[in-house]
Amino acid sequence: METKRFTSDTLSQAATALKEGQLVAFPTETVYGLGANALDETAVKQVFQVKGRPSDNPLIVHVTGLEQVRDYVSEMHPLTQAVVDAYWPGPLTVILPIKEGAFSSVVTGGLKTVAFRMPDHPLTLALIKEAGVPIVGPSANLSGTPSPTTADHVLHDFTNKIAGVLDGGATKIGVESTVIDLSDATSTPVILRPGAITGEMLSDSTHMNITNEPVALKGTEAPKAPGMKYKHYSPQTKVIMVDSHDFDQLSAYLNEKEVRAGIIAGPTAAAKVRMEAGAIFMYQNDTVEAATKGLFSGLRALDECQADLDVIFVETKEEHGLGYAYMNRLKKAADQQKFTNN
Ligand code: TXA
Ligand code: MG
């Protein structure tokens, strides 16, 4: 299958492909999604197949607004309207109780709930409208690898395996949406996956205490967002986290040891490193926004680079606000490993 790069000029071809049951990746403000008609079970099965995604990991259904959600859900948490008014279109996914039989169990992973999100990207909103159906969209990467933030990343993973990718440029945020559980109308909403819409922001707009901390699990309890238990965001090359104030130490270590290292950091930390060989992927600036936007593309770039690296060192950020989501992804990519030189 030849995989096409669709643009705004060929958007209706992309919509037709979706209507015919084919897979088309689409841009959002977070990461690219791998789209299929959410009402076409065969198409949705193919999404799992080409990604290599475990079948118990449910998908997010992308819509053009809350009106498109009402047909499918049995009950709305009283806060749904408020959070949707505040953050849609945007990087917020809401989990709601599903009307019996509204979606195939392939979409929901057999759960009695379903995840909805209205992405903030004009091309994708136009695509969903033209397709006329809700569109499932997990991140458009092979399962376990860093999520895609450009159409090229999608083509790298899926050339000849999907009908095409709608090219909307590099994504603005760089990590996936915040997932909030609104499936129990009687309880305080819980964040299942941190993202750019933080617990602080959600607490402000709902007047409830919504924390970024994922809910602690008891004993053998399964995580509420099934995706959170799987290996994630990992390039082939080993990843190690480094605190900003340890970059002098890192420089000393690299000049002592024979190690082919890549570095992902802001300009201030990167400037402390003297490297004879190896590769540096620098964020545009030292802000957490730039770091978040560049994390996955940095991991992909260094993983692919000619230098055949032994390890990629990545600068950490403080764990609050967007930094909480950034560190959530980085810790998984690094399997919690942090640099110390002693
Ligand atoms: O930003 C995003 O959310 C991107 C773009 C493409 O929209 N999509 C994305 O999808 O990250 P995915 O499939 O990679 O992640 C979906 C997450 C998984 O952790 C999954 O387990 C969780 O949402 N999820 C989906 N449906 C759920 C449900 N009914 N209950 C609990 N968690 C659910
Ligand atoms: Mg994903």
Instruction: Report mean pLDDT in 10-residue bins for the chain, 342 residues.
Output: 97 98 98 98 98 94 96 92 96 96 95 97 98 98 95 98 98 98 92 96 92 64 66 87 96 90 96 82 95 97 90 97 96 95 72
User: Model-level pTM?
Assistant: 0.95
Choose the residue to mutate in 48, 72, 165, 179 for probing ligand 1, maximizing ligand atoms within 8 Å of C-beta.
Answer: 179
Sheet arrangement for strand 178-181: 4-6, 164-166, 24-26, 33-37, 135-136, 60-62, 113-117, 92-97, 178-181, 190-193
Give long-range contacts, CB 8 A cutoff, 24+ apart: 271-274: 272/247, 272/248, 273/247
SS3 category, 36: strand
Q: What is the pLDDT of residue 212?
A: 81
Q: What is the pLDDT of residue 215?
A: 60
d(C-alpha 255, C-alpha 55), whole Å = 46
Kindly calculate the radius of gyration of the chain based on its CA atoms and give it in whole angstroms: 20
Choose the residue to mutate in 53, 56, 61, 93 for probing ligand 1, maximizing ligand atoms within 8 Å of C-beta.
Answer: 93
Report the pocket of ligand 1 as residue ranges, CB < 6 Å.
Answer: 28, 30-31, 33, 57-60, 91, 93, 95, 108, 111, 113-115, 117, 119, 137-139, 176-177, 179, 192-193, 224-228
Please tell me the residue having the least CA distance from ligand 1 atom 18.
227
Centre of ligand 2 to C-alpha 88, Å, is: 20
Centre of ligand 1 to C-alpha 87, Å, is: 17
Give me the helices (H) in 7-146, please. 11-19, 41-51, 67-70, 80-87, 105-108, 122-131
Contact call for residues 22 and 1 (beta carbons, < 8 A):
no
Please tell me the residue having the least CA distance from ligand 1 atom 30.
225
Measured from the alpha carbon of residue 172, the closest ligand is 1
Question: In ligand 1, which atom is closest to the CA atom of 34?
Answer: 6
d(C-alpha 34, C-alpha 172), whole Å = 17
d(C-alpha 311, C-alpha 262), whole Å = 6
Please tell me the residue having the least CA distance from ligand 1 atom 10.
138
Taking alpha carbons only, the member of 141, 136, 139, 179 closest to residue 157 is 141
Contact call for residues 199 and 210 (beta carbons, < 8 A):
yes
Please tell me the residue having the least CA distance from ligand 1 atom 13.
138
Torsion of CA 305, 308, 311, 314, to 10 degrees: -10
Torsions phi, psi of 321, nearest 5? Answer: 60, -140
Measured from the alpha carbon of residue 31, the closest ligand is 1
